[in-house]
Structure formats: structure tokens, C-alpha cells
Chains A and B, each alone.
Chain A
Amino acid sequence: MFSIIRTMWLTFLHMFHKRDTIQYPEEKAALPARWRGRIVLTRDPDMGERCVGCYLCAAACPVDCISLQATEDEHGRRYPAFFRINFSRCIFCGYCEEACPTYAIQLIPDFEMGEYVRQNLVYEKEDLLINSQGKYPGYNYYKVAGLAIDGKSKGEGDNELEPVDVHSLLP
């Protein structure tokens, strides 16, 4: 008997506590920057596509919901010809982001992806690619990679020597 009254009393007191629930969707939740929500493909500081089509995110994905096809432009820069994420399968584990060697794929604090038709949860590259560097500004994979691309020949990357002169035998 006593315990029932105590419970009612405590419940009653809650009316005067600060509220934890918010009036979503009128009121938005404040999400931390590292919240693992919607996945995007970002761009490097030169606004080039960061993704180089290495397939590591796809391999890391435990539900295998990423598929892509790598291709390259006439100067040897690699990028995905298509890049597809089936969000109806995605578990937002963030492994893809961890696997990505170029900071291209990132999970962002946005979860508002509800759809009535499941097919609409299949996102293509057009839906994923954003015009921003996302959480990791400044990183440009091609600057540190050895591959030559348009605007960066051999030896012009960060931390690179001039290409070897094959005809020289000088010490």
C-alpha cells in the first residue's frame, strides 16, 4: 500500500522536472558532430571527388550494402562510375568511414531518411555526393599518393622527390 502511494508521488513529482523528450519534429535534436547518421561522399579541398573507388568501404560493410564501380579519367584520376548505398540495409555502424583511406565516405548527424517506399532508400552517387569536405577539412589524398593526375605530375606530390633520371649513373 505504502509503496503504491510512494510510486504515485514520485510520478507526480516528475511533472515539475526538466523534460528529456523534445517536440520533434517542430523541435530538432542537437546531435554531436560524430553522430553516425546519413552517409555522404565528400569532396577534397579542390572540390574534386574524394572517393577513388578503392572498394574498401564496400568490403568493410558488414551488411554488404555498398556497391560501386571504379573508373578513371583520361589523366588517371580514379573515381567511382557509380556508387550505390542501399540504406534499407545499412546499420549505420560506420565501418565504411573507418575503412576509407581518403575521408571520402562520412556519416553525418542526420537521421531523417524515412520513406514510405523501400526502393527510395537506394541512394546513388548523385544522392550521396555533397559539395563539402565534411568532418575532415584539408585532406587531399592525391597530394600524398604516388599516382599522377591532371595538375600533379610525378614528383609534384607532397613529400616527393623529382622523378629519377634513368640515364644518369651519377652517385
Chain B
Amino acid sequence: MVLFIDNKPHEVPAGKNLLEACLTLGKDIPYFCWHPAMGSVGACRQCAVKVYKDENDQKGRLVMSCMEPVVNNQRISIEDHDAKEFREHVIEWLMTNHPHDCAVCDEGGSCHLQDMTVMSGHNYRNYNYKKRTYTNQYLGPFLNHEMNRCIQCYRCVRFYKDYAGGKDLDVFASKNNVYFGRAEDGILENEFSGNLAEVCPTGVFTDKTLKQHYTRKWDLTMAPSICQHCSVGCNTIAGERYGSLRMIANRYNGDVNGYFLCDRGRYGYEFVNAADRIRKPRIQQRETDREALLSNLSGLLNKPGVIGIGSPRASLQSNFVLKTLVGEHNFYHGVSDSEHDLAELAVKILREGTVRTPSTKEVEEADAVFILGEDITNTAPILALAVRQSVRQQPAALAEKANIPLWNDAAVKGVVQDKKGPLFIATLTTTKLDELATATYRATPECIARLGFAVAHALDNAAPAVADLSENLLVLAEQIAQALRTAKKPVIISGAGCESDAVMKAAANVAHALQKENKNTGLVYTMLECNSIGLAMMGGHRLHAAFNAVVNGHADTVIVLENDLYRHGRKSDVDAFLKACRNIIVLDHSMHATTQQAHVVIPAGTFAESDGILVNNEGRAQRFFQVYESKDMVRESWRWLLDIGTEAGNTRLSTWKNFEDITHAIATSEPLLQGIDQVTPPSQFRVAGQRIPRAPHRYSGRTSMQANINVSEPKPPEDPDSPLSYTMEGYRGMPPSSMIPFFWSPGWNSVQSVNKYQQEIGGALKGGDPGIRLLEPATTGTIKYFEGIPEAFKALEDHLLIMPMHHIFGSEELSARSPSVAQRIPKPYILLSMDDAVSMSLLENYILRFYIGRYEYSLPVKVSNAIPNGVAAVPYGLPEIPYTELPEWATTRAPKYLHTLTPTYTPKHQNT
């Protein structure tokens, strides 16, 4: 299509609106209410342009560019005098009540309203009346509220309610007085609330954690990073000032997280700044220096019997260097055996099967979704946000039939009403996505697997059939099969959350049965940690084998990499293991039960102080860059291990000098990780001979920030591992997509500058979305269906099957250490069915005492109408509830050997 803008022809794609088309072409048109992910509603009237009938039309008419579809050979003008004047007036009206706040407003310097005001040329308030004011609300630990600054664009409620499914933010009052907030003060409940700070074009909603150490965007040293808090691997920007990490912001990646992050990812970063971070090496609890540490360790490591335990939350680089240091046979995965097996199963299915695993973006485009066993809102939040959008795909056909373009949000909503596409959820108990589901099924993993197998059989007779299936389940399986069969892009989601290989296999069968007829089928497995898949692709032994090796005397020295073993093994096992170890060497950044028992503690860098590559659940290898160099002895784990290996005379390690050498070695020696040296350009990469600056060109205070220590400025650190520089010097243009430290473009200081980095608005970044997919399905070969359908679950008298419950806040180790997230962590509880509670005469908040093996637990009861009888769930990963491999049978009757019981959690205030 050809579009004439101010008499110059431009080639534009069809199906867009004028605003999108112009922004894609790099033109500047101010806007507020339109958002690329949420479409247009035409509420703010800021994006006016002139449209002309034909060449001879001199007058034209003003239209809102976000509401007008592109028509071939259309003639428009952005520069037209009337249009400019109109835009200037609109912003003047919006500003009549705007407070004189920029100096004390956290949005300042990255404020879309500031940018648009400057762009449209308004600069003096001519309105001589008083300003309207509002009172603010307390919205919880994540967001600050300053309602005076609102310009009534409605983006916040459109995001929070319509896009993210939130219930507790709304617009109140009327006319010139509308108010955006909650019905009353209180915590914003939605898991994606933090995005309001980026969605709101003004300073009404701002990041409350940033406020505690407030820094303007222009003063941050920023680096492209990857969220470390779940297996989705959202792309983030991490910003530092004065040696502490100040904020996490979204880094657009069209394939992975788009414009949004979840609150765990946005606010989990505060653990980096914790006061109890490990900052100095310690030998036998005593602080020591580098030389003493290295000579001590090389002594230890030159004896036989050294094993290494890796980590699903450490980078490939760190894990690989450890593996090389201790030798392939002595390298163990630091995850529970069941997690180990599930991750390996996922890799196997996605590599050897014929079904492709889709990106989050593709899940968003799916028109039928079947979730087996996984509460993705809590285990892979951004995936849940994508599923929320997927239910709009099928009804969107109605809008298309009515000739309404999909970006026309209000009109599409009008046609679609509350119709939803097919979404089936089979989980243990209620999930937040249930409200969108066509049908839900509450059952134990066994029964969920049976439903999955039945659906697969209904889709393809060759898939194994399920014996003794109840009538209801048969009907449900048929219904699901039917919906999936008619879908164009069905997606099956399962994962490690319910710790069941049967469920994951059932999901694989469904996907493969569908794949026979529909090549667009997708299969997603979510994992428990940010590098679970990467670790599984690297190979290594089970954790219990490590325990046995030491307990049986084959080894006596263990190097634990960024791992709290108490989160992956039963307390008694880990206790016995650590006791049997003569030397425990732990590399980590935070104190935990394992570091407390270590003989040697080495201060490892967090993601902010490290470079590394993680592999997300899509099999996408993504790199995070060091944000800042630590002033003390904190180093990347891999760098420590390189130094230790070199000191100990390891010939292979001593030839590696930096990040690149390790990455090359991984790519050549790990068959499944081939190609990861292509994730980002090499460290010698330069644009016009220059590095890419981590700091914006307005970065301030360079000759002053350290002047209290020494008035002569130190030389800025040099980065041997990447093409990024730690200063503001360097190439000012657009860096390659995998190395964008921050989004900025002249006149666009806010996050909205991402427009300029995209090939087309809302599409991929210029140069392609970053990350390399390592898991592609086998293109040949036949599908072998999984057999081994489990028996249906049967409740046992006096017993409960204990299942893990995942929580977005609390279940993940690192984010749970963040003070803001900590305020949202649930108290320990046990979730019981109504019937079970009644039969045990328990009410809500009563204490239930139960026993797993030799352990006694006392937890307050929560009653659920959804969870099946005979099953109970406890929150996963809370420090108060010690790890035990779940699912596991618990008895409610005290076992005979009561004297050996170890009480593990007893709440302080018992209600009974």
C-alpha cells in the first residue's frame, strides 16, 4: 500500500491504522491512549492528523490517526498547520490541571507526557483557574499513586482490567473528576500490576521500589538482562547507580515478553542489594583474601574425590566451568531427582518429538489452549498473560467478519462481548485463569494425566486408550478433542509444577495426536527455574547420586554452585550429605542454609554483576550482561571457578580467559548447546570502532560521585566480556537487538521509544528478536505415543496426598528475598477439601498436624471447594515449610516412633 505523508509516498503494510503506520515509518505523532498491545480507543484526541480526499483537496479533515485505517493511495499530513495547532491545544487542555511536579515526579526524564508536550510545542499554561486535585491511595509495596498527574487516557484500566484480568482497579466519579484507583486503599492484587508504571504515560503510577533509592533514567548504568525468576526468561533492563541495583524495567522482545513483565520479575531484584549479601570469601567463617583463598582451594582440589553440584539458577557458563573443573563424571545437577527427570523428559519430548514448542508470542496467537496440571499464573506468569490474550483469538473472527480491524479495541469488544475462545484447564485446584476457561477439571496428577491420555485417544485412535474412564471424563475428553481439532493453532501447556511425568507425557500425546492433522500445534512445558532447561541440556547426574557418592566414601569434597541444597533435597538427606563432606565449598551471593554450613564460601555475583546465558522453557538461549562491576570481591561464579581451576593446574581451564572462551567451549563440546556462541555478537564487536554505552549520554555526576573518596576520578572499568562499555562514551545509534542497554531516541525519553527499535510497531525488534532457539522438533520419524497410563487416584483413609502449590510470590528463592515481594508472600497453610476438613472436624485456620515420614508438620488449614478429596496442598518453596519431594503421602495419625519426629513448622499463633 502506498501512503502519502505530506506529499511524499511511503510503502506501508495493510491492516494498520495511520498512527501505527506513521510510527513504523519513523514519523513522530504524539499519542496517549493508543497502546500497541491494547489497540486504539480514540479517547485522548492527541494523535490528530489531516486526511485529504485526493491531490486536489487543499482543506482536508482532521482525524484521529489511531482510529483511521490505512487506505491505499491515501494522502495525509502530519505537518499541516491545523493538525499541529489541534495537537498543541489538546495537550494544553490535558495540562490545565497538571501539577507543577516534574521536579519531584519519578516519571520525569522518562515521561511520555513530557515528551509529547515538547513534541507538540505547548509550553505555557494560559488557563488562569485553580487546579483540580485528588487524594492518593496506598496500593501496596509495588506502586506509588499520585493521582493529580492523571491525564485521563484510560490506559491503566484498559491494561489492568481488560488485558491482565485484574479486578481491583477501576475508574470512579464522572466528567472532569474521573479517578483511577481502587475502591478503597489496599494492595493491587493483580500479578502484572507493576506494568502500570510503564503503561501509564504519566507519573500517576510509579515504581515504589525505585522510589526508595530514586534515580532518573538518564543517571542509570543499564544493561540488557534476563529475568531470573522463572523459566519464561523475560527480557529486562537492569539499572544501577552508586553501586546498587535500582530497578528492573521491561526490555521488549516480541517473541518472549513483549511489552510486559510480571511483578515477581520486576520487583524480585532487591535481593541483589540485601545487607547480608556475601561480599568477601570466607574460610571456616573467617574472612580471607583472594590469594589465601586460591591457594587453600588448589590444595583441596588437587586431591581426588571432588564433586560439583550445579544449579538451575546459575548460568550455563558457571555450570559448564564447574563441570569441566570437577570432570564430567563428578558433575551433578542441583535439583531434586524428580525435577531432574522432568526437565530431561521435556528436552527429550521437544527434541525427539515432532511438535514444536511455541514462543510466548505464539501462545498469545493460539486459538485453543489446553492446560494440564500447571497453574501458570504462579509458575510462568507471562505465559498466563499470553493465554489471557489467546481466548480472544477465536471471537476476533466475528470482528473480522464485521470488517472491524483488530486494533480497533472498543469496536472489537462491542462485537465480541464476553465470548471467549476455547481454554481448558485441568489442575489440582482453582487457578486464576479459570474465569476464562471453557471447562475446568479438578483432579490429582494421575487423573489429569488420564484425561490427557483420553483426549489424545479421542484425537487419534492410535494413541493408547484409557481403561475405566468415567462417563463425565469421556464427555469432557471428547469436548476438548473437538475444540482442539477445529482450532487453527492449538497449544498444549504442561510443566514441572505438579511434579508428574505422567501429566507431561499425556500432554505430549495430545500434542502429537493433534500434530498429525495440524502442523501448527504447539506444546509448552514450563519449568521451575530460569535455567532448568539449560541445565538439563548440559547433562549431569542426579542429586541423590552425589549424596551417595559422598556418604559411601567415593568423594569427600563438594563444590556447590549457587544452590541451596535444602530447597532440592530432604533435610535429613542434605544434613547427612553435608556432614559426610570433609570440605564444602559454596559459591553463592546470598546466605542460606547451605552457605551456613560451608567451610569455604566464595562471593559469587548475582545476575547484575555477571554475564551469562540461560535457556528458557522455549529452549531459547538468552544472554544477560553485567550491569556493573562490584567494588568488592564479588565475581561471576565462572570467573572464580576459572581462577580456581587455573591455580589448581587444570589444563583446560587455564586456556580460557573470558566469557567468550567459555561460551565457545560450550558450543563445541556440548552437543545440545551448539550455537550458543551466536547468541550475541562477540566481545570484539564494535560499531564504527566504538563500544555500546551502558549509560545514556546525559549521565551525570561522573566527576563527583566518587570525589568524597578521592577527588581524582578513577579510570572506568573495562569490560573484557562484551562489546558494552561502562560509561556514556560510545556508539549512540541503535545497537544490535540482543545488546540494547536501554531504549532512547531523540525526543522519546520514555519507554515508548521502543517504537523506534521495532521493524514494525508491535513486531520484532530491528535485526530480529534476540535469543537463539535450541530446541526444534525432529522433522522426520514417526510419533511414538507414551504408554503407561496411571491408575485413577484413590483416597486413602487417614492419609492425604500432599501436593505442592506454587505462588508467584514466595515459591521462587531469590525474589522471595526482595523486601517488596516478601510483603506479598502467603503465610504457610495446608489446603484441604471441604469434605476432608469436615471429616477431620477442622475449620479454616485450625491447625492440622500431619506427618510425612519422620517429620511432623503443623499448618493452619485453608478449605477449598475445588481440591479433590484425599489430597492436600502446601505452598512450594516457603522457607518455613522444609523441602520434601512432593507429591508424597502424609498421615494424619501420629506414627508409632513419635519420639524420633522432627517438628518442622509450627505457627506462632495457633487458633485452636
Q: Which residues of A contact B (CB under 8 A)?
A: 52-56, 58-59, 61, 63-72, 78, 84-86, 88-89, 101-102, 118-119, 121-122, 124, 141, 144-148, 154-155, 157, 159-169, 171
Contact = CB atoms under 8 A, between A and B. Distances in A.
B701 A164 contact: no
Interface residues of B, number: 46
Contacts of A157: 133
A167 B173 CA distance: 6
Contacts of A122: 704, 707-708, 711
B216 interface: yes
B698 interface: yes
A86 B707 contact: yes
A65 B258 CA distance: 38
Contacts of A168: 173, 177
Contacts of A169: 173-174
Contact of A54 (B108, B136, B705, B712): B108
A64 B702 contact: yes
A161 B99 CA distance: 12
B179 interface: yes
B117 to A, nearest CB: 15
Contacts of A155: 133
Given A141-B103, A147-B99, A69 B213 contact: yes
Contacts of A86: 703-704, 707, 711
7 tightest Cβ-Cβ pairs between the two chains A and B: A146-B99, A67-B701, A58-B700, A54-B103, A67-B704, A146-B148, A64-B702
Contacts of A84: 704-705, 707-708
B711 A146 contact: no
B130 interface: yes
Given A164-B132, A164-B134, A66 B704 contact: yes
Contacts of A55: 109, 215-216, 218-219, 700
A52 B103 CA distance: 7
Q: Point out which of B130, B701, B705, B708 has the most chain A C-beta atoms below 10 A from its C-beta.
A: B701
B214 interface: yes
Interface of B: 99-104, 108-109, 130-136, 146, 148-149, 172-175, 177, 179, 181, 211, 213-216, 218-219, 242, 698-705, 707-708, 710-712
Contact of A164 (B103, B177, B705, B708): B177
Nearest to A156: B133
B790 to A, nearest CB: 55
A145 B101 contact: yes
B218 A164 contact: no
A146 B131 contact: yes
Nearest to B106: A70
B293 to A, nearest CB: 34
A147 B711 CA distance: 36
A116 to B, nearest CB: 13
A146 B104 CA distance: 9
A89 B704 contact: yes
A49 to B, nearest CB: 13
B133 A65 contact: no
A114 to B, nearest CB: 15
B703 A154 contact: no
Given A101-B103, A146-B99, A161 B711 contact: no
21 contacts: A54-B103, A55-B215, A58-B700, A64-B704, A67-B701, A78-B104, A84-B704, A86-B703, A102-B103, A118-B712, A122-B707, A124-B708, A145-B104, A146-B131, A146-B148, A147-B104, A154-B136, A161-B130, A164-B132, A165-B177, A169-B174
Contact of A161 (B102, B133, B135, B146): B133
Contacts of A154: 133-136, 148
Contact of B218 (A59, A78, A85, A145): A59
A64 B131 CA distance: 36
A85 B701 CA distance: 9
Given A63-B703, A86-B707, A154-B148, A52 B698 contact: no
Contacts of B175: 171
Contacts of A146: 99-101, 131, 133, 146, 148-149
A145 B103 contact: yes
A161 to B, nearest CB: 5
Contacts of A58: 219, 700-701, 704
Given A84-B704, A84-B708, A122-B707, A160 B102 contact: no
Given A55-B216, A121-B711, A144 B100 contact: yes
